[in-house]
Amino acid sequence: MAAHALWRKIITQNDENPFSQAPNLQAALILDCAVDESQRWADMVAFLRSLSDMEVHVAQHLSNLKRSGTPTTCIVADVFLRWAVPFAKTHALHSVSLCPMSVTNFSIFYHLNLGLEGWKDYIAESPPLQLTDIPARLIDPSRLGNEIVECFANVRRADSIVASSFYALDCKAVETQRHKTPVHLNGWIPNSFGSVHNAARPQVKEIAAGLFKSGCYFVWALRLDNDASHFSEMLPTEFIDECEGQGLIAAWFGQAEIRKHPAVGGF
């Protein structure tokens, strides 16, 4: 889920408002203008472009804050909100690009306009990148690829970056990126399984084997592929029986309820 959408979800659920115990922070609901969620994955270009309509509402809110005498010094925005960094520059605000991915992945997007050779030179201490390592939609010219290039052309002008990672996991990319733009890490790893990425069946079976051999209790939201009527068709034979009492698998779980449960040790 994009950061703006998550923000909107959080502040409209008053009973779970994380700022309720922080009296110095105030939340404001700003229309994100995004296309309906059911249509987003069908046309990602239209989705990204629809977010540009959000700028006028942020500008209005900024004006309201100014009239009320509330100082504004910084804007933190998802890297895919292409208008955010230019907006911050126009209004003399510190611009922070919020990156919902690892710094290594961010570096690929950040230098998307350089091509494969540019990436190899940039992340010099990382394993050499191969064409098969890069999503095809980013290599071949496409409407979506061009849209992402334009988003990150603005991100390169940001004053700083907040990325989703740990230093120990991303240290090489972090140190290299810091020569370009200051990078701060928020200490968590994003999860895109099921929400963005449909894993192929061989990958699903490898994940299943890893979960089983780990010996850990788990809850797994597994999206059906186009050829499956039940997730058991995608899993190793006897996997569900073997994991009885160890794991729970379903097509969907409420993330908020799962993540706040005291029994959960990792997500």
Q: How far is CA 256 from the centre of its chain?
A: 17
- What pLDDT does residue 1 have? 36
Per-residue pLDDT at 190: 58
pLDDT score for 254: 80
Given this model, what pLDDT does residue 205 score? 92
The confidence score (pLDDT) of residue 121 equals 55
- Going by C-alpha positions, the residue among 149, 102, 148 that lies closest to residue 126 is 102
- Alpha-carbon span 115 to 138, nearest angstrom: 9
Q: Answer whether 0.95 is exceeded by the pTM.
A: no
Neighbours of 231 (CB within 10 A): 19
Contact present, 161 and 106 (Cβ < 8 Å) = yes
How is 114-137 classified by DSSP, letter by letter? GHHHHHHHHTTTSPPP-GGGS-HH
Secondary structure (3-state) at 206: helix
> Cα-flanking dihedrals φ and ψ of residue 32, to 5°?
-90, -15
Strands 94-99 and 160-163: parallel
Query: 63: Cβ–Cβ under 8 A, 6 or more apart, which residues?
Result: none
* Residue 267 tokens, joined: 């997500």
Q: What angle do CA 136, 138, 139 make, to 5 degrees?
A: 65
pLDDT given at position 57? 93
Give me the pLDDT at residue 138, please.
Answer: 63
Q: Which residues of the chain have pLDDT under 70?
A: 1-25, 37-39, 41, 113-142, 189-198
- Distant-in-sequence, close-in-space partners of 252: CB < 8 Å, separation ≥ 6: 221
As a dihedral over the C-alpha atoms of residue 99, residue 103, residue 104, residue 105, rounded to 10 degrees, the angle is -10
Domains of the chain: residue spans and CATH: 3-185 (3.40.50.2000), 201-259 (no CATH)
